[in-house]
Chain A
Amino acid sequence: MSGAPGHKPHVPDHARVMEDEPPPILGSWRRIYILVICYLAFLILAMYIFGRAVRP
């Protein structure tokens, strides 16, 4: 039950090595990810404050 015996997966004709590149800002992807999570926290907080402010 482990697939077709002896079968080798098809190697796509567009095979090429993909190098990882740094992001255009902040130097590393890790910092970008942290920024996105902080942005999410900011959005939720801003919307919460907005909801509280307009509720009489």
Chain B
Amino acid sequence: MRPLDWVVMFCWLVFIVSYGLYRGRGSSTMNKYLLAGKSMPWYAMGLSIMATQASAITFISTTGQSYTDGMRFVQFYFGLPIAMVILCATAVPIFHRANVYTAYEYLEQRFDAKTRSLVSLIFLIQRGLAAGLSLYAPAVVLSIILGWPDRATTIVMGVLVMTYISFGGIKAVTWADVQQMSLILCGLVLALVLAIHLLPSSVSFSDAVSLAGAAGKLNPVTFNFDWDDRYNIWSGLIGGMFLALAYFGCDQSQVQRYLTGKSIAASRLSLLFNAVAKIPMQFFILFIGAMVYVFFIYERPPLLFQPVELKNVQHDARFPAVERRYQLAYADRKQAADEYVQANHAGDRSRRQASIEHYRAAQQELNEAHTAGEHLVGKEFDDTNYIFLSFVTRYLPAGVVGLIVAVIFSAAMSSASGEINSLATVTVIDIYRRHVKREASDRHYLIASRFATVFWGCFAMGFAQYGRNFGALIQAVNVIGSLFYGGLLGVFVLAFFFRGVGANGAFFGVLAGEAAIFAANLFTRISFLWYNVIGCVVVVLVGLAVSRIFDRVARTP
């Protein structure tokens, strides 16, 4: 980071906090603090929903994912537009007409207090862990770029986020998200333009696309079906749809965004905006990763993109041999790529075919040499998350690096702010006001909401401080997040579509659904995308069965 980069990053962070504070002023009642007085326009909600979903680690790892595995990750989002349509037709009008602060408040209107409390607790556990991760995961990456300890980075992000959300509530969150999403989009466009611009003058855009295509990086649609394959059209359409239904329909961090809408129409438009924009945006991010891959055909990539680990493994006795193998493989791939481009220009089909085979074999050897380098660090080590940042920090001009780092900060802060805000809302509305202090003034609950915001902000920072001690548990926590959505989705499906199901059916349905998901996780190799389908189906079936027996008995005088 050069001085200009620091200036750009610092100015952006000061701006975003000041802007959040400015837009959040006047949040003087609980309704204004938690629901922005139901006054938000659709485009602000839409961008805020998108910003909350786009975490920093998603942003930096998606480009790396494309570099290593191609663009098929985009299929993960194919179910999202279908889910948005379903939610617009069902959840949005139901939640609005129920006049609730949280999705779980509706469950008490529909079922009973115990179902509401159970689901609220599931949300608090899941989101509480996720909020800590939202700060910790990007902090690890940013710390290497900035040269700060990761603890300092998490505290900086956490304090900045808490400053504007504890003061301005959801209005501050939403309007800050709008600015952050705008910066993220500008940063993405700039990164793509520069990735293409930095290619050698002899390599045209068309050549770059051909090289990425020949290496199998431009594979946005794949039809193979495999239960443990996360990214194909089937898991994307079905599993992705269930995941999006759960995330946007049952997760308070998203539901609260569209409950701030001034009308049902505004809330629907905010979701449909995401339905239309999300897939092209993900395609765009993945395409940047593919172009970064082509850039590194002509610029030798380091053996490891993670600079600290690269320095550490240089003391390993095996390093010289692995590094030599990597250099040879790189030189061979570059030669094969040149042959392929020349054969393309000449229109020579037989030469082209031979060069493709050479190019793919060289790519395979380079991948194996890179994996051997990763194994010098440890069997579990994967430096995918550092690929894009390595490109940014080593090759982009001064000022742009600061801007991209600011983009990553923004993505982390927008996710964390939405999560902390929703955790505070559920804590106050579904726990404190429901079970602890039921009749208090609006001012009392407003102050409680601010305290809850500070509590969850500190919790997230505290959890993030211990992130490094968890090691592989970080991976486990990511999986844990997906363990709960199926149960949440199932209970809302029962609430919306099965009017005959009562409180006991819903309660025991959720417990059975969660048990089924945990069993799938422990005893099968099924991809986590399918957990939502499994959990939802089990909740509905058990809910219907239990309700037929126990709810009927309960209703008998």
* A interface residues, Cβ below 8 angstroms from B: 1-4, 7, 9-24, 29, 32-33, 36-37, 39-40, 43-44, 47-48, 50-51, 54-56
Contact = CB atoms under 8 A, between A and B. Distances in A.
Contact of A43 (B31, B216, B279, B503): B279
B341 to A, nearest CB: 12
B502 A2 contact: yes
B390 interface: no
Nearest to B353: A56
B96 A18 contact: yes
A22 B31 contact: no
Given A9-B109, A14-B35, A20-B265, A55 B218 contact: yes
B218 A56 contact: no
B504 interface: yes
B220 A47 contact: yes
A2 B97 CA distance: 24
Nearest to A18: B96
B325 interface: no
Contacts of A1: 114, 503-504, 507, 550, 554
Nearest to A33: B85
Given A20-B264, A24-B269, A44-B221, 11 more contacts: A1-B503, A2-B112, A2-B502, A3-B112, A10-B105, A10-B434, A13-B30, A23-B265, A23-B268, A51-B218, A55-B219
Which DSSP category, helix, strand, loop or mixed, fits chain A's interface?
loop
Contacts, number: 122
B85 A2 contact: no
Given A2-B112, A36-B275, A47-B74, A12 B89 contact: no
A42 to B, nearest CB: 11
Interface string B206-248: 0001101110101111000000000001000000000000000
B219 A2 contact: no
B119 interface: no
Contact of A51 (B35, B219, B263, B269): B219
Interface stretch (B2-10, B11-19, B76-84, B122-130): B76-84
Contacts of A29: 88-89, 268
Given A21-B263, A29-B268, A51-B219, A3 B38 contact: no
Contacts of B433: 10
Can you list the 5 inter-chain pairs with the closest CB atoms, starting with the nearest? A3-B112, A54-B213, A47-B220, A21-B265, A48-B221
Contact of A50 (B85, B218, B502, B503): B218
B438 A56 contact: no
A11 B93 CA distance: 17
B343 to A, nearest CB: 10
Nearest to A17: B97
A50 B99 CA distance: 46
Contacts of B220: 47-48, 50-51
A13 B35 CA distance: 12
13 contacts: A1-B554, A3-B111, A10-B434, A14-B37, A20-B264, A36-B275, A39-B81, A43-B280, A51-B218, A51-B221, A55-B218, A55-B219, A56-B352
A19 B212 CA distance: 51
Contacts of B280: 43
B45 to A, nearest CB: 15
A10 B37 CA distance: 18
A33 B269 CA distance: 11
Given A3-B113, A20-B264, A37-B85, A12 B101 contact: yes
A36 B504 contact: no
B31 A13 contact: yes
Contacts of A33: 85, 88-89
Interface string B345-379: 00000001000100000000000000000000000
A11 to B, nearest CB: 8
